[in-house]
Amino acid sequence: MPEPKHRPSWDEYFLILAKVAATRSTCLSRPTGAVIVLGKQVLATGYNGSMPGMPNCSDEGACFRRCLNVPDHEKNDYARNVHAEANAIARAARKGISIQGATVYVTLFPCYTCLKLLVAAGIKELVYELDYETINNKRDTHWRQEAEKAGLKIRKLELLEQTKKIVIEYVNNITSARNLESE
């Protein structure tokens, strides 16, 4: 009997979808994706990108903020992109989809502004892949603790090597080609 095929866990599955959403990012520095899920159902996705109808950094081939020589500590004041989490929340709102009690899967731990937005939007759980390298650890630690006090469950998730392998296999090959002989 053949060995059972590895299947990603539900958490891994939704994080993979967030990683796929990040492929649509227009940010040259940090492509980021988000997926909002409730009851194993995807409600909305988002990626960091410019406001609709505005120029974006990937099309222009240069980071807008860096072209203005804005230092890192002022980056959120001049960044052209709307963050992935905010875009996912906005997409749900535009479609009239309630995200109350949902889980958000993100490829990068949210900035403190998006963290507060997630709590205000009724998100109950945050699952993330990569820690945000902050320049203000005291501020960001404070807001993470406040979000947890407000009831936001926060978990870091790393994809298993088996999961990465099967995703690469599926992407690199025709996914639905017949694997077993016809009877």
Q: Is 161 known to be catalytic?
A: no
State the catalytic residue, choosing from 85, 133, 148, 181.
85
Q: What angle in degrees, to the nearest 10, is found between the helix axes of 161-172 and 10-22?
A: 50
Q: Are the C-beta atoms of 44 and 89 separated by less than 8 Å?
A: yes
Ranges of H-type helices in the chain: 10-22, 57-60, 64-67, 75-78, 84-94, 112-120, 137-149, 161-172
Q: Are the C-beta atoms of 27 and 49 separated by less than 8 Å?
A: yes
What are residue 105's DSSP bridge partners?
35, 127
Question: Which of helix, strand or coil describes residue 104?
Answer: strand
Amino acid letter at 82?
V
Positions annotated as catalytic residues are 85
